[in-house]
Structure 1
Amino acid sequence: MTARRGRTLLVVTLAAVLLAALWLALRPADRAAPVTVGATGAATPSPPVGPPVLVPGRPGESALVRPAQEVRDTASPRHNSLDVWFVRMMIPHHQQALEMAELAPDRAASPGIRALADRIRAAQGPEIGLMRGWLSARGLPAEVPGHDHGTMRGMQSPEAVRRLTDARGAEFDRLFVEMMTAHHQGAVTMATDLLRVGVDQQLNEFANAVATEQTVEIDRMRALL
């Protein structure tokens, strides 16, 4: 009985060894990374391209499978020079709106004008911080040396701001609505222009909000008078 068990164990062991050897002989060889030959004739591994990418088609069209490298090469830039221009111009534009709005609490006769000025300060102050943060995250300076911000759409001249500063009561209300309406219209135009040429998604959403909200405020100011 002991001899029979020994023979059985020997057969099982030999079978296991043979199966292991057969598996090693038949398994597929590891695929080597593709190589490229440089100018010196030395072969260097090519960088991995990655798996194919499924690219959605346009409305009514089927999706396409394209090489990953091709998709990366044709991707849209995260921002362009017009995005940067918009942010750099809109910062001083907002700053002037804040300057005018800060005059209202002590000068406006209409509670509606004072409330509107409060909303402008509450909205545009944080928006300046957002725009400065957008530039800082990309290593871009906020200032444009030598640029005359007074030429921007809707910007009020220093003389006009002085008249607003000196005005009180109903005269202040009239000048504030007149100047802030023109100022808002300039911002709406700048934002609408960006929506046609900008590529940064965050800025497109911001410009759309500026155009919408300031159009509403223009209507509110006109209704106040």
Structure 2
Amino acid sequence: MNRTAKFAAAAMALAVAIFVVVATRSQDRESAAAPRPAVSSTPPQRVILPGRPGESARVSDSDKIKAPGVATFNSIDTAFTQMMIVHHGQAVTMAALAPGRAGDKQLAQLAARIGAAQTPEIAWMQGWLRDRRLPASDPSHNHATMPGMQSEADMATLATLEGTDFDRRFVAMMTSHHQGAIQMANDVLRGGTDLQLNEMAGEMAIEQGGEIARMADLNS
């Protein structure tokens, strides 16, 4: 092989070597720049979660708990809220009939308490739906069939009564109404998933159970 051929072969070998080095360094830079998956050095922690009203607390791993702000409601929560707004509305209407009609002063005071408690609950439930961009009502709901709902005829009759007659009719109607609300609250406690709504439903059931007992005492 003459000198020129040897020089060309050496140059070719050097070019290949340079290409290999450059390519290798380029790959190393790309590997270094690529984001690496974060590795947590902290193992999941055991966390105590409060139970729903009437239920015991439970223990879970911290990595299994949903982050705050994640939607946790379901269709049972939504239907309960939409219907309970109407249900509460009728109770507030009934309570507003008591002043000037109730013969028992204590019953009139209880009616005022019912109205004062359920009016802000209606506003809270309306806000719950609004915050989740849900409709305020569902046209498919037949409100007349909700547990404890009183007929329009019964409501009209109640508005014509006074004194003892009003008291007896009011207690019977409101007791039935409250019992229906408690039934609906228990339904959402069993099947709903929104913790705030479940807490409100539990408190509501307790409050209305106490009012049923109070009305029974007044009517005895």
Q: TM-score, normalised by structure 1?
A: 0.71
Map 1:146-161; keep pairs closer than 5 Å. 146-161=140-155
Quote how far apart the aligned CAs of 1:145 are.
1.2
Question: How big is each residue's C-alpha offset from its partner over 1:74-97, in whole Å with a ceiling of 9 and x where there is no partner?
Answer: xx8511110101100100000000
Q: Which residue number corresponds to residue 34 of structure 2?
A: 32
Q: 1:166 to 1:199 in 2, by over 3 A?
A: same
CA distance in 2, matches of 1:109, 1:153: 28
Pairing 1:38-77 to 2, within 5 Å after superposition? 54-56=44-46, 77=71
C-alpha displacement at 1:49, in angstroms? 8.5
Contact 2:87/2:149 (8 A) holds in 1: yes
Aligned counterparts, 1:192-203, within 5 A: 192-203=186-197
- Give structure 1 stretches of 5+ with no counterpart: 1-28, 35-45
Deviation at 1:56, TM superposition (A): 2.3
> Corresponding residue for 1:135?
129
Instruction: Report deviation, 1:143.
Output: 1.3
Q: Alpha carbons of 1:131 and 1:58: their partners in 2 closer, same or farther (altered >3 Å)?
A: closer
Task: Please list every run of at least 4 consecutive aligned residues from structure 1 whose deviation after the TM superposition is greater than 2 angstroms.
Answer: 29-32, 48-53, 55-59, 61-66, 70-73
> Residue 107 of structure 1 aligns with which residue?
101
Q: Is the 8 A contact 2:83 2:141 kept in 1?
A: no
Distance 1:55 1:79, change over 3 A: farther
Map Cα deviations across residues 83-129 of structure 1 (whole Å, 9 max, x no partner).
10110010000000001000000210000110011101110000000
* Aligned residue number for residue 19 of structure 1: none
Residue identity matched to 2:44: L
Q: Work out whether residues 153 and 190 of structure 1, in 8 Å CA contact, stay in contact via their aligned partners in 2.
A: yes
Q: Partner amino acid for 1:213?
A: E
| Residues in 1 aligned to 2:197 and 2:65: alpha-carbon distance in whole angstroms | 24
CA distance in 2, matches of 1:153, 1:93: 9
On the 8 A contact 1:82/1:194 being kept in 2, the answer is: yes
Give, as a single letter, the amino acid of the residue that structure 2 aligns with 1:205: E
Identity %: 46
2:119, 2:143 → 1: CA distance?
A: 18
State TM-score, norm by structure 2.
0.73
Root-mean-square deviation over aligned CA pairs: 3.0
- The structure with higher relative contact order (CA 8 Å, sep 6+) is 2
| Residue of structure 2 in register with 1:208 after alignment | 202
